[in-house]
């Protein structure tokens, strides 16, 4: 299994920001881990052009469950693929909160992604209130089982554990808390598809930065990271890529 350092640019970046991508590739032309950036859809084709023939993959941040039609403002999985995407983030907590995305919708999107040949990165995570109420594993189990596409394997799916309260806040769970959730995710996935799930990449996401990446990547069942803010700068994302390559 090749570990995965995935960056989520969210609604940030412009053509000028592609200079950061060139700098990242100049500093890390052949990392031991897989490297992925998910820019806004408007930058996807341009970033794919910069990434062509390099170790960098590009991905989308969302897709529509249907292939085409009267869905103003939406983008299909096939459109992402044509623009150069290999992956698509689905069910990010900001999509779940801002756009009311349900587990059933995330599942339908993941199946559309598979239909277009994309690898979905399905995000799950608890709110702070849910953690305080001792509901973390229950919430995550429900999100996971509700969002999984049919016929998934370790080769065509990635799962990211992103505690909502850790995203963009500078706060992270303890290493034991991360280990507990990742162990639980692994067990639930093995219960679904058997031994192949031992190779399915489980990412941690939520305020990963160069200063905490080494200790997070040392946690059992953490096979990479989904990185927001720190993926915007080549130096920061490059340090995270380096830490994962060494883990």
Is 92 a known active-site residue?
Answer: yes
Q: Which of residues 130-169 bind ligand PEP (CB under 6 A)?
A: 162, 167-168
The residue from 28, 92, 114, 182 that is catalytic is 92
Cα–Cα distance list, 203 to 20, 175, 212, 217 (Å): 23, 14, 14, 9
- Cα distance between residue 22 and residue 185, in whole Å: 35
- The 3-state DSSP composition of the chain as helix, strand, coil percent (nearest 5) reads 50, 15, 35
Size of the site for ligand PEP (CB under 6 A): 13
Query: Is residue 61 within the footprint of ligand PEP (CB under 6 A)?
Result: no
Helix orientation angle between 18-27 and 41-51, rounded to the nearest 10 degrees: 30
Nearer to ligand PEP, 31 or 229 (CB): 229
Local structure of 93: helix, strand or coil: helix
- Cα distance between residue 54 and residue 167, in whole Å: 29
Nearer to ligand PEP, 230 or 234 (CB): 230
Query: Is residue 173 within the footprint of ligand PEP (CB under 6 A)?
Result: no
Is 162 a known active-site residue?
Answer: yes
Query: Is residue 227 within the footprint of ligand PEP (CB under 6 A)?
Result: yes
Query: Is residue 101 within the footprint of ligand PEP (CB under 6 A)?
Result: no
Which residue in 207, 213, 216, 222 binds ligand PEP (CB under 6 A)?
Answer: 207
Given a contact cutoff of 8 angstroms between Cβ atoms, the answer to whether 30 and 2 are in contact is: no
Active site residues: 92, 162
Per CB under 6 A, residues contacting ligand PEP are 8, 162, 167-168, 205-208, 226-230
């Amino acid at each position: 299994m090749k570990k995965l350092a995935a960056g989520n640019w969210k609604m940030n970046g412009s053509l000028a920001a592609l200079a950061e991508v060139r700098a990242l590739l100049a500093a890390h032309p052949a990392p031991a881990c897989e490297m992925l950036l998910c820019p806004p859809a408007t930058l996807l084709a341009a970033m794919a052009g910069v990434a062509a023939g390099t170790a960098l993959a590009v991905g989308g941040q969302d897709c529509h469950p249907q292939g085409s039609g009267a869905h103003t403002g939406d983008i299909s999985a096939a459109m992402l693929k044509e623009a150069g995407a290999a992956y698509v983030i689905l069910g990010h907590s900001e999509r779940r909160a801002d756009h009311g995305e349900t587990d059933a919708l995330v599942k339908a999107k993941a199946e559309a992604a598979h239909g277009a040949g994309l690898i979905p990165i399905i995000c799950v995570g608890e709110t702070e209130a849910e953690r305080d109420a001792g509901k973390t594993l229950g919430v995550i189990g429900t999100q996971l089982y509700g969002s999984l596409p049919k016929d998934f394997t370790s080769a065509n799916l990635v799962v990211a554990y992103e505690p909502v309260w850790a995203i963009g806040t500078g706060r992270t769970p303890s290493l034991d808390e991360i280990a507990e959730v990742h162990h639980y995710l692994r067990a639930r996935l093995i219960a679904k598809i058997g031994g192949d799930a031992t190779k399915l990449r489980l990412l941690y996401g939520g305020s990963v930065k160069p200063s905490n990446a080494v200790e997070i990547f040392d946690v059992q069942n953490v096979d990479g990271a989904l990185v927001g803010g720190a993926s915007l700068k080549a130096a920061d994302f490059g340090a995270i890529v380096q830490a994962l390559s060494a883990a």
